[in-house]
Structure 1
């Protein structure tokens, strides 16, 4: 099957590469000609484990190609995926659909054969209806059907998520589109991946509802962590005791500095705006958004407290900048608010991250970027573990004593055992543990 993916960012590139790996003939399209040139040269625009190798293998097999021409790329394609960005719109938090609509207009102007147009981008309820109107208004004489097929990819594990999904959600309004989408995902039948066919609007809402629920779990356990500190309980024990209940589950019950990334922040805001438009408030999600934003700054104050109440002229080493490990994504990363709180308090901040420093340097020009972990902690008054990269899971406490000015470790991901850290002479602070 010939497939065109419009948008070669995170979702589009991963999805297109995996579909090509299934045996489909895939072209990934992007109007950014520099990005396309880099992809043709084997240079990835994002860091995702295993992606560069998978792209190279499918390009070599002539199943995957790249182009900056949408008009040429969609000719003969049975399926065209829209996978462009839908960032939160400045000022009001609504999802910015300008890129989606622009692509829909361009598809409408160039389509010449029956095509299923699939929205892979995360879009508010009713966007598929708008795309359908755009296609119809063009007067295109060929048959088209608009489908919602939301993505559920975790950065850092996206290839595995695409190839071994928990579910594939397809919102289609006619049998032809359902049959075409079944053929797209037929290779996954060997893995017995469940395909859920719904209405288009239900599929659009499933994505937002899923992310909002996961964000709620994260925020809930973070508030329990604060309570644990007050009552001298251990949040890891609390989370484990909760998670063993199959109705709750263990995932997303890890206390930390709050959620960030490309999905949860913008998707919870977009869901709030949709609910507002339809006069059906979602008060729980509203509280989640507010609590999460407050928490990031609170973690900065936690570091200042560990410094004795003042960060003025103190050197603070930040380990981990990206919003999670195994990505270079800095979007809404908790480290941004934490570092800004420290800078506002007069601290000198030096940071290290295995993949995120180039993007972080553009966002935080006042932060010194170190070449490795132990250069970052040189002469530090405090060390803050913000992102739980594997490289930070076995720090040499002896080297911390030798290189840091003070062996103060604020572990915002609860990577280390408090007793072992203190036995090694580390002045240790974690989240939600006595």
Structure 2
């Protein structure tokens, strides 16, 4: 199939490269001309294990192309994935959807045939509906459907997560949209990867709920770690012991300085804002956010204590600047 990806960040570039590996013809679009120039020259602007090889191979075979011209990129696309940033909106913590909405409008104005617009960015519940209204207003003359297909990629293992996912979640409102997504993800369904079709609102909520749950799990083991220090218990063995219970699982049970990165902080905050807008308090998620903030400050106090009560004039080494291994992402 002919696909277009709007945005060449972690999600967009990984998705584009993996879709082309499936055999689809993919064009990645980004308004940053310098980024596109690098990609055309074979330079990958981000670090992700395996991505360099994947991009170069599929570019060489002609399945993966790059452009800064959105009209050129989406003109003949059968499906267009929006993978632009949704940072926290300055001042109130809501997800900033201006890039998503602008991309949707530009895509609608540029396509020359019926197509499916898919939001792959992490967006609050109701975004697909708003994108649908934008598209209908911009191009009432062409049938353009809208779907939600959130990503569940971990930086540092994004290629593996895309090619061998636990599941693929698709939010759709019609059988024709479902069929397009079935065709796109056929290589995964042939390997018996579950493809879950739900409403667009449900799809959007699944993404936020998943990230919030993982943040809760990280925060829980961090609080257990604090108690272990006071009682003499070994938190690593505690984590191993509870993780052996299949109902709990052993992932995200590593005590540390708290969660960070480009997703969990903004997504938990955005979920709280959505809950606030709908007058449905989420006390567990709120406590998780608060405890995580406190933990960051506590780690700072521990450094000061280890330095004898003051860091003034001291030389402090930081071993690693990213929020996790195998990535160059230093956001939050």
For residue 67 of structure 2, what is the aligned residue in structure 1? 67
Q: Deviations over 1:52-88 (max 9, x none)?
A: 1110000000000000011121111110000000000
1:280 corresponds to 2:280: yes
Q: Deviations over 1:203-239 (max 9, x none)?
A: 0000000000000000010011111111111111111
For residue 46 of structure 1, what is the aligned residue in structure 2? 46
**Equivalent runs, 1:286-305 vs 2, <5 Å:** 286-305=286-305
Larger radius of gyration between Structure 1 and Structure 2? 1
Q: CA deviation at 1:317?
A: 1.3
CA distance in 2 between partners of 1:213 and 1:241 (Å)? 20
CA distance in 1 between partners of 2:297 and 2:126 (Å)? 35
Q: CA deviation at 1:331?
A: 1.0
1:99 corresponds to 2:99: yes
1:148 corresponds to 2:157: no
CA contact 2:77–2:111 (8 Å) conserved in 1: no
CA distance in 2 between partners of 1:157 and 1:140 (Å)? 41
Moved more, 301-310 or 14-23: 301-310
CA contact 1:111–1:140 (8 Å) conserved in 2: no
**Equivalent runs, 1:26-425 vs 2, <5 Å:** 26-332=26-332
CA distance in 1 between partners of 2:312 and 2:180 (Å)? 62
1:15 corresponds to 2:1: no
CA contact 2:109–2:139 (8 Å) conserved in 1: no
Q: CA deviation at 1:307?
A: 2.3
Q: Deviations over 1:161-189 (max 9, x none)?
A: 00000000000010000000000000112
Unaligned ranges ≥5, structure 2: none
Q: Which has the higher contact order (CA 8 A, sep 6+)?
A: 2
Q: CA deviation at 1:324?
A: 0.3
TM-score, with structure 2 as normaliser: 0.98
CA distance in 1 between partners of 2:108 and 2:114 (Å)? 12
CA contact 2:124–2:271 (8 Å) conserved in 1: yes
TM-score, with structure 1 as normaliser: 0.76
Q: Deviations over 1:119-138 (max 9, x none)?
A: 00000000000000001112
CA distance in 2 between partners of 1:52 and 1:214 (Å)? 29
Q: CA deviation at 1:309?
A: 2.4
